[in-house]
């Protein structure tokens, strides 16, 4: 089956308006290309949107996760825990700091880190004196992880929390926006084109603690400060306008990226609302099909970065591979999210073996992400659903 008429439908894509283009062009005509006035404006706008005190814009969410770990003091000898059902960056950030990483299995219904597994693992880690320094829940597909539960465990066991909200700008849960930091130390957003809003490449780390934000700013720019009170043994007769006081990086965002981000942010709610309309159409049809959707907790509002379904052969008589190939042949570029991180060859070489997180592995053998992006038309959604029904032969 081939659509003939329409080009390949991707699983996600950016939504760029003329206003977005104009915002970038305006910066290109200005005096600033790298970090200039648009960067702090974008930081303040995202912080205000999410309800956080401060935000640090960087050139990717990967960089944001790295400086978040550094600011929380992650280093050699420490362990960081995250979900296996995520992009590799959620785990790599710990390794960048010389720490080790471990994984907490997922919940079979929400596909987020399982609170039960987290509690169990914390109990036994406390027994052996190997508690994590930081736990990184991932708001998979845009659905916030159960943060009040994570928060309770954090108080009991004394770890710090970074929310990997790369999927979840515009989402909310338990009466607060993702990013407000009510239940965590730092929240990270991604502005990769496939995410909810984009700056090309880009990311941001939000925090309510001014010291944490300051430390992240320093790591963003080579470990350099221009605050006199932080400078050390400055010779009185020399002009020192900055000092490098620790080892940092060049993770800065350019001003034209920030201008694009600011312009995109104006349409964030509109994007998320459209994603909800699409999710409703999928939900409605999928109820009568032998596939499994992501359970949405009643206390949350997802940003629907992804719309994952599970194809269980014992339910529908079709394998994940059969449905995947059928949809591909129908010009629907479905995707899988995710291969459990520890099953990547690099992580296998670190000593993780198959079967480590059984639920995440089972999920990976069943999952397919249907197309989900604000520019997807109702007609395209119906086309996807028709193709899916044919794939399942119902
Ligand atoms: C996309 C993504 C990242 C990395 O984002 P970049 O901005 O591409 O570095 C990290 N974590 C998750 C869960 C992601 O989906």
Q: Report pLDDT for 236.
A: 67
Share of the chain above pLDDT 90, in %: 91
Cα–Cα distances in Å, from 114 out to 108, 117, 150, 388? 8, 5, 10, 29
Same domain, 299 and 241: no
pLDDT tens, 123-178? 999 999 999 999 999 999 999 999 999 999 999 999 999 999 999 999 999 999 99
Per-residue confidence at 5, pLDDT binned at 50, 70, 90? Answer: low
For the stretch 127-156, what's the b/e string if a residue is b when 16 or more beta carbons lie within 10 angstroms of its beta carbon? eeeebbbbbbbbbbbbbbbbbebbeebbee
User: Residue 211 burial (CB < 10 Å; 0-12/13-18/19+)?
Assistant: exposed
Per-residue confidence at 205, pLDDT binned at 50, 70, 90? Answer: very high
Indicate yes or no: pTM above 0.95. Answer: yes
Same domain, 257 and 275: no
Choosing from 203, 231, 265, the residue where a domain stops is 265
Per-residue confidence at 228, pLDDT binned at 50, 70, 90? Answer: confident
pLDDT tops 70 at residue 270? yes
Best residue among 166, 335, 340 to mutate for probing ligand 1, ranked by most atoms within 8 Å of CB? 166
Count of structural domains, the chain: 2
Asked if 392 and 291 touch (Cβ cutoff 8 Å), the reply is yes
Per-residue confidence at 1, pLDDT binned at 50, 70, 90? Answer: very low
pLDDT tops 50 at residue 324? yes
Same domain, 96 and 107: yes
- Biggest CA-to-CA distance, the chain: 82
Same domain, 301 and 186: no
Best residue among 56, 57, 58, 62 to mutate for probing ligand 1, ranked by most atoms within 8 Å of CB? 62
Same domain, 214 and 288: no
Residues in the chain: 394
Same domain, 212 and 90: yes
Choosing from 243, 265, 287, the residue where a domain stops is 265
Which ligand 1 atom sits closest to the C-alpha of 190?
7
pLDDT tops 60 at residue 4? no
Residue 198 Cβ inside 6 Å of ligand 1? The answer reads no
pLDDT tops 60 at residue 3? no
Residue 309, domain extent:
268-391
Same domain, 299 and 341: yes
**Strand ranges of the sheet holding 307-310, from the earlier edge strand across to the other edge:** 292-293, 307-310, 367-370
pLDDT, the chain, mean: 96
**What's the CA-to-centroid distance between 166 and ligand 1, angstroms?**
5
Residue 190 Cβ inside 6 Å of ligand 1? The answer reads yes
Interval 315-325 mean pLDDT = 96
Interval 29-54 mean pLDDT = 95
pLDDT tops 90 at residue 356? yes
């Amino acid at each position: 089956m081939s659509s003939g008429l329409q080009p390949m439908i991707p699983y996600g894509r950016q939504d760029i308006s003329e206003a977005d283009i104009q915002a970038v062009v305006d910066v290109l005509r200005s005096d600033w290309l790298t970090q200039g006035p648009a960067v702090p404006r974008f930081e303040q706008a995202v912080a205000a949107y999410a309800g956080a005190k401060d935000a640090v814009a960087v050139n990717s969410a990967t960089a944001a996760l790295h400086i978040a770990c550094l600011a929380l003091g992650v280093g050699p000898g420490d362990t960081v825990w995250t979900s296996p059902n995520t992009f590799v960056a959620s785990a790599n950030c710990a390794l960048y700091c010389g720490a080790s990483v471990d994984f907490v299995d997922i919940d079979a219904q929400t596909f987020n880190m399982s609170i039960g597994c987290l509690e169990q693992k914390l109990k036994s880690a406390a027994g052996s004196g190997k508690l994590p320094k930081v736990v990184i829940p991932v708001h998979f597909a845009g659905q916030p992880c159960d943060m009040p539960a994570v928060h309770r465990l954090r108080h009991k066991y004394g770890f710090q929390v970074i929310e990997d909200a790369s999927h979840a700008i515009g989402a909310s849960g338990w009466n607060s926006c993702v990013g407000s930091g009510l239940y965590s130390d730092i929240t990270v957003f991604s502005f990769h084109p496939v995410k909810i809003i984009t700056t090309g490449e880009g990311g941001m780390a939000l925090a309510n603690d001014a010291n944490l934000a300051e430390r992240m700013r320093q790591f963003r720019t080579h470990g350099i400060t221009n605050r006199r009170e932080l400078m050390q043994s400055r010779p009185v007769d020399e002009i020192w306008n900055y000092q490098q006081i620790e080892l940092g990086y060049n993770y800065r965002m350019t001003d034209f990226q920030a201008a694009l981000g600011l312009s995109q942010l104006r349409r964030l709610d509109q994007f998320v609302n459209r994603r909800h309309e699409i999710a409703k159409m999928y939900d409605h049809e999928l109820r009568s099909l032998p596939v499994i959707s992501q359970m949405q907790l009643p206390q949350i509002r997802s940003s629907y970065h992804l719309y994952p379904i599970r194809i269980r052969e014992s339910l529908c008589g079709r394998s994940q591979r059969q449905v995947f190939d059928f949809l591909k042949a129908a010009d629907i570029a479905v995707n899988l999210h995710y291969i459990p991180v520890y099953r990547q060859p690099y992580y296998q070489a670190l000593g993780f073996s198959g079967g480590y997180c059984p639920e995440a592995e089972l999920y990976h053998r069943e999952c397919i992400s249907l197309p989900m992006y604000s520019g997807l038309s109702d007609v395209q959604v119906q086309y996807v659903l028709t193709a899916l029904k044919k794939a399942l032969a119902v």
